[in-house]
């Protein structure tokens, strides 16, 4: 890649004329291509990393266009979705500033250890702190600290596990849902926004303050036999299409129990939106219309922050929303 950099009369360079290179984890190739396609005013060049292994399974990584990193704004689209992928990507992040990039922005759509952010019993390990410290060790670039962009982090206190060596920027995918609800095909739907628990309500309710949607909050209560059942704690679901909103889904049981409570209280339909569709052990299959699910979700929105969501394309009730345009704007913001 070649890029002409204009020199002003006083000898300084226009910062917006430095080239931008986007490197990415192998699992994020499709999203990286989308980001490049979205960027029309400010061109983005895709970087080329060779991700191989030695016979003993340790990473053997080679950056093909490393000579072009110097004086470039560098982006890295990460996916730390399992422990095996972390070491290789962290190694790349530690080396990019050493090739004299002007800036480094780490696009980390999903912070994987966010649910293990606190210690409740002596002996537990807060792995959110461990991963935050690893990312905090990214060296400074020529213009200062690197920026780490995270979407819908599970707990806001996670941001304070990072050191001041980097800048943490928290973003949300909820805007994609709001865009969907404004579409013409949804004009006749009477929506309310439902949260499966108080935690989701605290994290996301402020994002709906400027809308006219009513709020419903579900909660688990303990019965006399020590079992927990999900009930509607606050709000009215009767006669409404309830859109359940949460940051992530794993087994999906919490969403199913919330949906059952809403339907029992008169909801005409239930749908869901989650920022991160993790779905370990293919737990997404229990929601498929073709599998005659226990609870029928009208639409289940997920975003492509996590590699697994590729499996959900064209699988009703799932609809995969892309964060590419959001990331494209963030790249130059």
User: Tell me, what CATH number does 114's domain have?
Assistant: 3.40.50.2020
pTM of the model: 0.90
- 160 and 258 in a common domain: no
- C-alpha to C-alpha distance for 231 and 145, rounded to whole angstroms: 46
Given 122, 153, 171, the domain boundary residue is 171
- Domain final residue, candidates 108, 142, 171: 171
Range of the domain at 286: 174-322
Q: Is residue 225 very low, low, confident or very high in pLDDT (cuts 50, 70, 90)?
A: low
Q: Are residues 234 and 299 in the same domain?
A: yes
Note whether 231 and 221 are within 8 A (CB): yes
Sole residue written with tokens 């073709």: 290
- Check whether residue 233 and residue 249 sit in a common domain: yes
> What are the tens digits of pLDDT across the range 163-173?
999 999 999 99
Half-sphere exposure of 271 (CA within 13 A, CB side): 22
Among the candidates 141, 171, 201, a domain finishes at 171
- Asked, for residue 329, whether it belongs to a domain, the answer is no
Phi and psi for 257 in degrees, rounded to 5? -65, -40
Tell whether 5 is covered by a domain.
no
User: Does some domain include residue 239?
Assistant: yes
Shared-domain flag, residues 312 and 205: yes
Average pLDDT (110-120) is 80
pLDDT in tens, 22-38: 999 999 999 999 999 99
Burial class (CB in 10 A: 0-12, 13-18, 19+), 154: buried
Task: Mark whether 162 and 181 lie in a shared domain.
Answer: no
Tally the domains of the chain: 2
């Amino acid at each position: 890649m070649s890029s002409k950099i204009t020199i002003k009369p006083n000898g300084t360079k226009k910062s917006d004329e430095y080239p931008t290179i986007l490197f990415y984890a192998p699992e994020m190739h499709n999203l990286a291509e989308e980001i490049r396609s979205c960027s029309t005013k400010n061109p983005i060049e895709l970087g080329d990393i060779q991700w191989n292994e030695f016979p003993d399974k340790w990473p053997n990584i080679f950056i093909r266009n490393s000579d072009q990193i110097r004086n470039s704004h560098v982006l890295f689209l990460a996916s730390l979705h399992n422990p095996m992928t972390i070491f290789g990507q962290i190694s790349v992040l530690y080396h990019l500033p050493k090739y004299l990039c002007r800036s480094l922005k780490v696009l980390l759509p999903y912070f994987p250890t966010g649910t293990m952010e606190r210690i409740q019993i002596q002996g537990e390990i807060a792995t959110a702190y461990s991963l935050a410290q690893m990312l905090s060790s990214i060296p400074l670039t020529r213009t200062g600290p690197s920026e780490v962009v995270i979407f819908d982090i599970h707990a806001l206190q996670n941001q304070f596990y990072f050191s001041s060596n980097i800048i943490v920027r928290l973003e949300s995918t909820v805007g994609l849902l709001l865009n969907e609800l404004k579409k013409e095909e949804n004009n006749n739907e009477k929506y309310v926004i439902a949260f499966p628990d108080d935690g989701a309500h605290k994290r996301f309710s402020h994002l709906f303050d400027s809308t006219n949607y009513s709020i419903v909050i579900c909660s688990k209560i303990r019965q006399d036999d020590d079992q927990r059942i999900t009930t509607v704690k606050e709000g009215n679901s009767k006669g409404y299409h309830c859109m359940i909103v949460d940051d992530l889904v794993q087994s999906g049981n919490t969403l199913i129990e919330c949906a059952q409570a809403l339907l029992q209280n008169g909801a005409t339909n239930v749908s869901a939106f989650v920022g991160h569709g993790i779905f370990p052990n293919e737990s997404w299959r229990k929601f498929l219309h073709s599998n005659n699910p226990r609870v029928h979700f009208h639409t289940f929105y997920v975003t492509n922050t996590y590699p697994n969501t590729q499996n959900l394309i064209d699988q009703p009730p799932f609809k995969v929303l892309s964060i590419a345009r959001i990331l494209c704007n963030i790249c130059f913001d």
